Amino acid sequence: MINNYSQGKKHMISKNDFLMEGTGKGKIVIQCPAKINLDLKITSKRADGFHNIKSVMQTINLYDYLTLRAEPAEQFEINLSGTSNEIPYNEKNLIYKAILLFIERVNIFPYKIDVYIEKNIPVSAGLAGGSTNAAGILKGLNVFFENPLSDKNLHELCAKLGSDLNFCLEGGRQLTTGRGEILEVLPFEEFEVSLIKPLHLGISAKEAYTKFSQKLSKGKTGRKDFKNDLEWAVVDDYKELQTIKTLYPDSMMSGSGSSFFMINGKFQPLEGYLVKNGLKTIPDGVKVI
Question: Taking Cα atoms as reference points, which of 157, 156, 142, 112 lies closest to residue 20?
Answer: 142
pLDDT in tens, 195-210: 999 999 999 999 999 9
DSSP 1-49: -EEETTTTEEE-----S--B---S--EEEEEEEEEEES-BEEEEE-TTS
Domains 2-34+63-166 and 192-280 share a fold: no
- Give the start-end residues of each E strand in the chain: 2-4, 9-11, 27-37, 41-45, 51-72, 77-82, 111-118, 173-177, 182-185, 192-198, 252-253, 260-263, 273-280, 287-288
Q: What is the mean pLDDT of residues 269-286?
A: 98
Enumerate the β-bridge partners of residue 112: 71, 77
The mean per-residue pLDDT over the stretch 213-220 comes to 95
The domains of the chain are located at 2-34+63-166, 192-280
Tally of helices (H runs) and strands (E runs) in the chain: 7, 14
Q: What fold does the segment set 2-34+63-166 form as a domain?
A: Ribosomal Protein S5; domain 2 (3.30.230)
Q: Name the residue among 103, 102, 77 with its Cα closest to residue 90.
A: 77
For 111-121, write each residue's pLDDT tens digit. Answer: 999 999 999 99
Which position among 64, 164, 197, 276 bears the catalytic label?
Answer: 164
CATH class of 192-280: alpha beta
Q: Is 153 left (phi over 0), alpha (psi -120 to 50) or beta?
A: alpha
State the pLDDT at residue 245.
98
Is the pLDDT at 17 greater than 50, yes or no?
no
For the stretch 238-270, pLDDT in tens is 999 999 999 999 999 999 999 999 999 999 999
| Structure-model confidence comparison of residues 24 and 95, the more confident one | 95
Kind plus residue range of the DSSP H or E element containing 132:
helix 129-144
Is 224 marked active-site? no
Total length of the chain: 289
pLDDT surpasses 50 at 14? no
Beta partners for residue 11, in sequence order: 2
pLDDT digit string (tens) for 24-45? 458 999 999 999 999 999 999 8
**204 DSSP assignment:** -
The residue annotated as part of the active site, out of 35, 197, 211, 276, is 35
- Alpha-carbon 89 to chain mean position: 16
**What confidence score (pLDDT) does residue 26 get?**
80
- Residue 20's pLDDT band, with cuts at 50, 70 and 90, is low
Phi/psi at 84 (5° precision): -100, 140
pLDDT reading at 212 higher than 70? yes
Is 35 a known active-site residue?
A: yes
Q: Please tell me the distance from the alpha carbon of residue 43 to that of residue 47, in angstroms, as a whole number.
A: 13
